[in-house]
Amino acid sequence: MTVSIVGTGYVGLTTGALLAAAGNKVYCIDVDSKKIETIKKGRSHFYEPWLDKLISEAIKSKKLIPTTRYRDAIPQSEIAIICVGTPSKGDGSVDLSYIYSAGTSIQKYMIDDLVIVQKSTVPVGTGRRLERILKNGAGNKKFHVVSCPEFLAEGSAVFDTLNMDRVVVGGDSEMAKQKIIRLLKSIDEFSKKIDTKKFTKYSKIYKNKIVFHNETPFKDRILSVGLESAELIKVTANAFLTTKISFANSIARICDQTGADILEVMEGVGRDERIGKSFLYAGLGWGGGCFPKDTAGLIYHADEVGFDFKILKAVVDLNNSQVLYVLRKIHRILGADLEGKKITVLGLSFKPGTSDVRISPSIRLVNNLVRKSATVSVYDPKALQEAKADIDGSVYYAKGIADALKKTDLAILATDWPELVDLDFKKLKRVFKKPNLLDARNKWDKEQVVKLGYKYFGVGR
């Protein structure tokens, strides 16, 4: 098929590159000409494992065509997929101006019967509003709006898109739904052909899996629903995941007071199939470009329809206090006065596997430490450059792990990149001034480091 992707961020560029790899002709439209120029050179403008390789091949084969001009792309396209940002406004509501602006630009050049797929995460009701806006200006042209929310996670975006655990399609037109299903099926077909041996180096990031193909038949992963339901599925899923994390962080505080170990507790809890083990990780809290804005958006929208979403408000409050909770632990380790104390923060991106630092708890921690006059040294495998704009005040940007840890009083694991989890603690011990470890992601091997003579502190263990 020939398709247009509107917005070349984490969602748009990953989807576009894989659709191109699967043999479709894909126009990638973005209003940001710098991003388009980078993609034209066969690269991504952000770090995501395996994405550069896919883009460079797709640019060479001319299956991926980056452009800033809607008029070069939309008239040729059977499907236009909106993947623009939906940021939070100050009051928690969602800024939908990029969606409506993309919609009206598509409308200007669309052919009859265009399928407009909404992949951005939006409050329920946005698709209907988009339909109304486009109907008012469409003249005689027919179009179909389908909601097909995206579930990929940064750091494993390519893997998640190849594996698609579910394909949710919402809308009124069966023909339009079938069209987007057929398009996404091409990615599933492509995933069967991948030689997994070539990709072992991605396996650590990709949840230790190197099988890119989901064995469940594609048709069994499709969920065809109404437009509103599709929109609400996505925000509900994100709100539920934040609830699981904040729940684990609450139990961790009880563990800290009682001697229970949060890892043991959640292992026991998660073995109940009704609960499941994933996302019961206590640590520094959740952040990123999605969870904070999607929970805030759902709370705001619930208020608008007359429901006071108290559970979710508590989830957000708990998360807002999590960095401060970890800060109190730092004081307990190093004392009330942090001036002159050297603290190393390992990991700056909001999660491993990405250079994304949007609402990163690690950076919030760094800024708090700087405000407390600590001498802060930071390191991240991929996000050092991106973090600079968000870090207030002066910190030392280390060139490597040993450099970051030199003469430190305390090392903190703030983002659990595999290379920061699997440290050579035996070798590194001599560079520490004081062998204090604060495992703010509960990923270091407590028994091993204690045996090596470190003092270990976790969150809830």
Ligand X SMILES: NC(=O)c1ccc[n+]([C@@H]2O[C@H](COP(=O)([O-])OP(=O)(O)OC[C@H]3O[C@@H](n4cnc5c(N)ncnc54)[C@H](O)[C@@H]3O)[C@@H](O)[C@H]2O)c1
Judge whether 330 and 438 are in contact, CB under 8 Å: yes
**C-beta of 154 vs 256, nearer to ligand X:** 154
**C-beta of 161 vs 408, nearer to ligand X:** 161
**C-beta of 10 vs 456, nearer to ligand X:** 10
The residue number whose beta carbon is nearest to ligand X equals 9
Residue with tokens 């595999």: 418
Could you say which of 48, 150, 416, 439 contacts ligand X (CB under 6 A)? 150
Nearest approach, Cβ of 254 to ligand X (angstroms)? 31
Judge whether 459 and 440 are in contact, CB under 8 Å: yes
Q: How far apart are CA 68 and CA 51, in angstroms?
A: 20
Nearest approach, Cβ of 294 to ligand X (angstroms)? 7
Q: How far apart are CA 77 and CA 279, in angstroms?
A: 39
Does 148 participate in catalysis according to the annotation?
no
Could you say which of 24, 44, 88, 120 contacts ligand X (CB under 6 A)? 120
Nearest approach, Cβ of 57 to ligand X (angstroms)? 21
Judge whether 105 and 30 are in contact, CB under 8 Å: no
Q: Taking the CA atoms of 330, 336, 339 and 342 in sequence, report the sign of the dihedral they define.
A: negative
Residue 109 interacts with ligand X (CB under 6 A): yes or no: no
Q: Which stretch binds ligand X (CB under 6 A): 100-108, 314-322, 340-348, 383-391?
A: 100-108
Q: How far apart are CA 36 and CA 394, in angstroms?
A: 33
Q: Are strands 143-147 and 114-118 parallel, antiparallel or unpaired?
A: parallel
Judge whether 450 and 436 are in contact, CB under 8 Å: no
**C-beta of 4 vs 436, nearer to ligand X:** 4
Nearest approach, Cβ of 92 to ligand X (angstroms)? 15
Q: How far apart are CA 14 and CA 39, in angstroms?
A: 12
Tell me which of 28, 83, 255, 290 is the catalytic residue: 290
Interface positions, 262-301, toward ligand X (CB under 6 A): 289-290
Per-position x/- string for 48-87, each x denoting binding to ligand X as judged by CB under 6 A, each - no binding: -----------------------------------xxxx-
Interface positions, 29-48, toward ligand X (CB under 6 A): 29-32, 35
- What DSSP character marks residue 88? B
User: Rg (Cα) of the chain, in Å, rounded?
Assistant: 23
Residues 6+ apart with CB under 8 A from 197: none
Could you say which of 121, 191, 344, 436 contacts ligand X (CB under 6 A)? 121
Q: Please spell the DSSP secondary structure of 46-66, one letter per residue.
A: S--TTHHHHHHHHHHTT-EEE
Q: Measure Cα distances from 313 to 11, 41, 79, 285, 295 in Å.
A: 27, 44, 38, 15, 9
Could you say which of 67, 98, 204, 431 contacts ligand X (CB under 6 A)? 98
Could you say which of 4, 9, 115, 283 contacts ligand X (CB under 6 A)? 9
Q: Which stretch binds ligand X (CB under 6 A): 24-32, 110-118, 261-269, 381-389?
A: 24-32
**C-beta of 84 vs 411, nearer to ligand X:** 84
Nearest approach, Cβ of 37 to ligand X (angstroms)? 13
Tokens (6 digits) for 408: 């430190």
Residue with tokens 């001498």: 375
**C-beta of 96 vs 280, nearer to ligand X:** 96
Percentages of the chain per state (helix, strand, coil), in multiples of 5: 45, 15, 40
Q: How many residues bind ligand X (CB under 6 A)?
A: 28
Contact residues toward ligand X (CB under 6 A) are: 6-12, 29-32, 35, 83-86, 98, 101-102, 105, 120-121, 150, 152-154, 289-290
Q: Which residues are catalytic?
A: 290
